Amino acid sequence: MNASLKWMRDYIDITGEPDQMAEILTDAGIPVEHVIRPGAEISRVVTGRLLSVEKHPQADHLVICQVDVGTEQLQIVTGAPNVRPGQIVPVAEPNSRLPGGVKIKSSKLRGVKSCGMLCSMQELGLDPDLFPGAEKNGIFILPETTPAGIDIHELYDLDDVIFEFELTPNRADCFSMLGLAYEMSALFGGEVRRPSVSTGDQGEPVEGRARVSLEDPRFCSRFCARLLENVKVGPSPEWLTERLRSAGIRPVNNIVDAANYVMIEYGQPLHTYDYDHVAGHSLHCRHAEEGEKLTTLDGEERTLTPADLVIADEKGAVCIAGVMGGLDSEVTESTSSVLLEAAVFNGASVRRTSRRIGLRSEASGRYERGVNPAQTKEALDRVCQILTEQGACTAAPGMLDVYPCPAEEKKISTSAQKINRYIGISLPEEEIIQILRKLHFTVEKNGEEITAVVPDFRADVSGEADLCEEVARIYGYENIPLTTPYSQVSKGVMDKETEIMMSAADALREDGLSEAVTFSFMHKDSLKKLNYPETDRVYQAIPILNPISEEYPFVRTTLLPGLMQAVQYTLAQKNDRIALFETGHVFYTHSLPFTEFPD
């Protein structure tokens, strides 16, 4: 997760040195891997208009450009094949600096003076994949409406600071700008400003013109949609595309970009469908049929299984739920109406499908960690607001919402004494309550008992121990005194079986054998290679629901497959002096599917 400091300041007033802020966040359990300053190594690079482009008299592959940089006119010699008079380009002036310590000075190229350099995206440290339509080779051609003489930092927010977070999977709330804003509010102070959302609905209500439904609430807990009409597909405003680039997302068009923007802002993935290409104007969340096919947005035809969750219209699947949409319902320049969908899919289901078909996206990553259903409606309205304010569409009144089992409010009861004993500190009760309120818990006090109502975006907090951890990390782990834990230690006794195993292993090692440690998993094909008869007990292996790879789908019933693979690998390394042994557990079940733990 990349978070722009400029963007973050839309939600909370924070000051301070970014590296110090990153250290505080990391100590509080929100690890910052890198603090990125995109334009720190760039100076004296401005936009310039090419007045003329003439051939170099002494070189066939060079041209001489006269460039207006706002305050003066420069002559620059370049070998780029894509420059034309009238274009706006980035210009490194004399005595400028570029990423990698490159210094630009005036010089002569084949006898002609060159005062600076025209820059490509790579020379400015920009990712070409984040600039759709831009030439990846040659000079970076800027939009023709760009004025000459603008500092490149101002044009592309290169003076911003980007925090690159390495978040743990349990902190799903921090995979959004608002979630991070709440965390920074607790650590650095300040009130969080949520967007003021109003959609200005117009026209005929969506009810009766579209429909959403779901098959099983265990796999889709909430399913919502809104209808956008009078859609004008085009480029997004520059402020929005810059925000997306800061998060590492490639701008596409105003409709898709608004959905991606809100996904980063709220942590709620959304998907857009061409309303006229959705059969029956109906979206149904269900599991795929065996062998059902769908061509996804990347042009690949995918063969689905009943384990894959899909969104389907009346003709068939139009989206792999939480992973990628279908090509047939894609929003294009000819789209006039859009069905905007937001849902909360089962994370494990999305992860299995994403892994099986080899597709991972910003959306699937958020679903895998968990999405807050309480924000789904607001996220949908926020997309409508952004697009209507741009004049890109009108929003039909109403929202289609299937939410059969709304999440219940979580309350955790504890006391200051319990929290202090758990952490090993002696904080006053008022300070504990203040910390919890900073973290946006609603706290009620009844005598010595403290009852904390968990905010809806903190799905990771479920018990008293979690509450104690929240107090500890905001108080500061470094402030907790070091103490030696007390425990009653009794002398361990080795059972006879373990003693025999260890003695046998010692004897084998003394005789020159090497001890192997292999996976506790196997594939049944390896048993056939060892010539086990198909009636042998070793084939009664327990399947793994989420195997580490397709090579290891079962729990092992014998050590031989792992040892033989070790021998095979060793021989492949041209080492024919092999003497291996292994001790370890194998797992047998009385019947399949097994109903009791294996032996």
Token digits for 140?
């970076």
Question: In the numeric block, which tokens belong to residue 369?
Answer: 């960690």
pTM passes above 0.85: no
CA dist., res. 178 & res. 439, Å (int)? 13
**Residue 538 DSSP SS3:** helix
Fold observed for domain 211-402: Phenylalanyl-tRNA Synthetase; Chain B, domain 3 (3.50.40)
Enumerate residues 6+ apart whose C-beta is below 8 A from 410. 453, 454, 461, 462
Instruction: Give the pLDDT confidence of 438-463 residue by residue, as tens digits.
Output: 999 999 999 999 999 999 999 999 99
| Confidence grade of residue 28 (pLDDT, cut at 50, 70, 90) | very high
Cα 89 to Cα 149: distance, rounded to the nearest angstrom = 10
Amino acid, single-letter form, for residue 397: P
Other Cβ atoms within 10 Å of 402 Cβ, number: 18
Pull the structure tokens for residue 363: 């959306």
Task: Look at residue 485 and tell me whether its pLDDT is greater than 80.
Answer: no
Q: Give the pLDDT confidence score for residue 60 in this predicted structure.
A: 85
| Helix/strand/coil for 34 | strand
Lowest average pLDDT, out of 12-26, 121-135, 165-179, goes to 121-135
> Superfamily assignment of 497-581 in CATH?
Bira Bifunctional Protein; Domain 2 (3.30.930.10)
| Lowest pLDDT segment from 171-185, 297-311, 477-491 | 477-491
Does the pLDDT at position 12 exceed 90? Answer: yes
The two structure tokens encoding residue 551: 């090579």
**pLDDT at residue 536 is higher than 80:** yes
- Residue linked to tokens 């097994």: 594
What are the backbone angles phi and psi of residue 441, rounded to the nearest 5°? -80, 140
The reported pLDDT for the residue numbered 599 is: 64
For tokens 């947005």, name the residue. 297
How far, in Å, are 231, 283, 480, 527 from residue 532 at the CA level? Answer: 65, 50, 59, 6
Q: With H, G, I as helix, E, B as strand and everything else as coil, classify residue 532.
A: coil
Contacts of residue 578, Cβ cutoff 8 Å, sequence gap at least 6: 567, 570, 571
- How far apart, in whole angstroms, are the C-alpha atoms of residue 87 and residue 183? 45
Phi-psi region of 440 (alpha: psi -120 to 50; beta: other; left: phi over 0): left
Q: Which range, of 12-16, 449-453, 484-488, averages the lowest pLDDT? A: 484-488
Tell whether the model's pLDDT for residue 409 goes beyond 80. yes
Q: What pLDDT is recorded for position 344?
A: 96
How many residues comprise the chain? 599
Beta bridge partners of 96: 104
The CA distance from 475 to 595, in Å, is: 46
The pLDDT assigned to 359 comes to 87
Nearest to 383 by CA among 262, 475, 272: 262
571-597 average pLDDT score: 86
Return d(Cα 75, Cα 291) in angstroms, integer: 63
Task: Please state, rounded to an integer, the average pLDDT across all residues of the chain.
Answer: 92
Q: What is the dihedral of CA 22, 27, 29, 33, to 10 degrees?
A: 40
For the stretch 106-122, pLDDT in tens is: 998 888 999 999 999 99
Is residue 255 pLDDT above 70, yes or no? yes
Mean pLDDT of 2-8: 95
CA 10 to chain centroid, in Å, comes to 21
pLDDT band of residue 82 (cuts 50, 70, 90) is very high
Whether 162 shows a pLDDT value over 90: the answer reads yes
- What is the C-alpha separation between 31 and 557, in angstroms, rounded? 41
Q: How confident is the model at residue 206 (pLDDT cuts 50, 70, 90)?
A: very high
Q: Residue 303 above 90 pLDDT? A: yes
Given a contact cutoff of 8 angstroms between Cβ atoms, the answer to whether 208 and 318 are in contact is no
Return the H-helix or E-strand segment holding 480: none
The Cβ of residue 27 has, within 10 Å, a number of other Cβ atoms equal to 14
Residues 92, 78: Cα–Cα separation, whole Å: 12
The class that CATH gives domain 43-155 is: mainly beta
Of 354, 340, 368, nearest to 302 (Cα)?
A: 354
- What CA–CA distance (Å, rounded) separates 173 from 374? 12
- From the list 147, 156, 125, 138, the residue with the least C-alpha distance to 84 is 138
Identity of the amino acid at 124: L
Task: Give the relative orientation of helices 254-266 and 362-369 as an angle to the nearest 10 degrees.
Answer: 30
Closest CA to 340 of 397, 277, 273: 273
User: What's at 109, amino acid-wise?
Assistant: L
Fold: same for 211-402 and 411-479: no
SS (H, E, C) 117-153: EECCCHHHCCCHHHCCCCCCCCCCCECCCCCCCCEHH
411-479 placed in CATH 3.30.56.10:
yes
Confidence of residue 135 (pLDDT cuts 50, 70, 90): confident
Cα pseudo-dihedral 172, 173, 178, 182, rounded to 10: -140
Extents of the domains making up the chain: 2-37+161-188, 43-155, 211-402, 411-479, 497-581
As a whole-number percent, the residues of the chain with pLDDT over 70 amount to 100
Measure the CA angle with vertex 435, ends 432 and 437; round to 5°: 110
Query: What would be the CATH architecture of the domain defined by 2-37+161-188?
Result: 2-Layer Sandwich (3.30)
> How much is the average pLDDT of 386-414?
94
Helices in 151-237 by DSSP H: which ranges? 152-155, 177-188
Nearest by Cα to 175 from 269, 270, 264, 271: 264
Instruction: Look at residues 323, 337, 326 and name the one whose alpha carbon lies nearest to residue 301.
Output: 326
Q: What is the DSSP letter of 109?
A: E
Per-position DSSP letters for 433-465, written without gaps between them:
HHHHHHTT-EEEEETTEEEEEPPTT-TT--SHH
> Given this model, what pLDDT does residue 598 score?
67
Which pLDDT does position 402 carry in this prediction?
96
Check if the beta carbon of residue 93 is closer than 8 Å to that of residue 44.
yes
Tokens in use for 497? 């079986």
Q: What does the longest C-alpha to C-alpha distance in the chain come to?
A: 93
